[in-house]
Structure 1
Amino acid sequence: MRSLAVGLILLAAGSRAAGPPALTLLTEDYPPFNMLQAGGRIGGSATDIVRELMLRSGVRYSIELLPWLRAYNRAVLEPHTCVYSTTRTDQRESQFKWIGPVAENPWVLYARSDSPRELHNLEDVRRYRLGGYAGDAVAQYLIARNFDVDLANTDVQNVRKLQAGRIDYWATGKYIGAQLVAREKAANLRPILTFNTTFMYLACHAGSSDQLVAQLNDTLRKMQKDGTVAKINARYLHD
């Protein structure tokens, strides 16, 4: 009987020591917020913010880089799983519990440099074909407003489609657009219109602990207040 009691005490102590389950953090290649860096390390401004957030909060975690739709769907379906950097929209609101924002993301339209059209607002491209990619909030926003959106599997494909004349404009985030244009050496493409500004979050499975979510949000607010977030962003985000 004594050995059973001792065993139960040790089991309880072990459970307390283990703490809450580790979080699986999923992301995509979406520079400069999240991206694969030299040596196979996952980095970027949002990744650095999330890493510091987990460190300060004492939360165990791992990070995986996946195609966007796989990462997003896993976070919807799998407990103790989060996805970033996720644009917070009305359609997505109930699917997750939200920590953030971790990034601000203006949306822009790119055109070829030889495009003769002058744009004043989004309605000016109503009759043209726009490039977006599957599952992305920018594309979902435009589709919901009945724009003609030609979907690609990745955003970099839209750089090539715009250069080839297969789409008339490319709708994307301001910072990733600049990164992909530089990466593809697409000097003939330029941003011509900013049509929305959104905020991106760490989006966690809907069954996540309210206490944990509140703790992470509180820690993130402290990081914003003490200048940590601004210092990280200054390393990555350039106009």
Structure 2
Amino acid sequence: MTTLSDLADAHPVIGRRWSPDQSSEQKRILCLARDALDFIFATGQRYDFEDFFKRPDARGLPRRGGTSELSERMDGTKRFFEKVRGEPELAEEVAQSQAILDAIQYIESTGQQEAFAAFQQQVESNDPPFVVASFDTREAAEAWLANHPHPPDPASVLIANEFHDVVYDRETNLRRLPRSRALKWYLEELVEKEQPVPVASFETLEEADAWWRAQSEPPGWAWVRVGGQIYMAAYYPNIQHRALFPLSLARPG
């Protein structure tokens, strides 16, 4: 049975086939495989995924929904890794390829192609780390976690616009919300690639927040200046949440 650990260990088979001069088609295939693995982690579907593959008929279940374009790309990715599985460069690539095939099978058979396509778009746009929920206070987040019949794991949530991990162990019913450094790492990597250029300037956070909330079709993120500081205005379409993150979070420490 393929487990979440198998998904985590599957990335090397993608990395060994990635090259700067690869065709655009191979790049699309490898990106889809990577995103399929990451989608299950980001959306906290550890137990759902593992329970799905406890079913004896799991790998034979039909596809549910999805656009023809995405279905074709998923089919192309499956053919690619079926070939890799049959002719692996290394013995461990058999299990790694199967994990990718199972990730795609799970997404298709559970009817999550639309959510997966949206996730791919967020990855392509280099949007802030994915979150499954947002809360104004720690108390509200803890109440949500305590009363959730099936908490997402692993996953991230925002609490007063600060990142926290969701930790849930089904056997012991352990439930925790430790702080996460995912946003700090993301911002550090982003500013290494490009110089932040604000698209708007404001005197106060309240003005910046009002402007960001007034955008009818906001991008996943944009830089703004508030007083003398740079902020990232972020939009999470999956939960309809907008946030302002200070770039100072990327500083060492």
Compute the TM-score of the two structures, normalised by the length of structure 1.
0.25
Structure with bigger strand share is: 1
Compute the TM-score of the two structures, normalised by the length of structure 2.
0.24
Structure with bigger helix share is: 2
Q: Which has the higher contact order (CA 8 A, sep 6+)?
A: 1
Larger Rg: 1
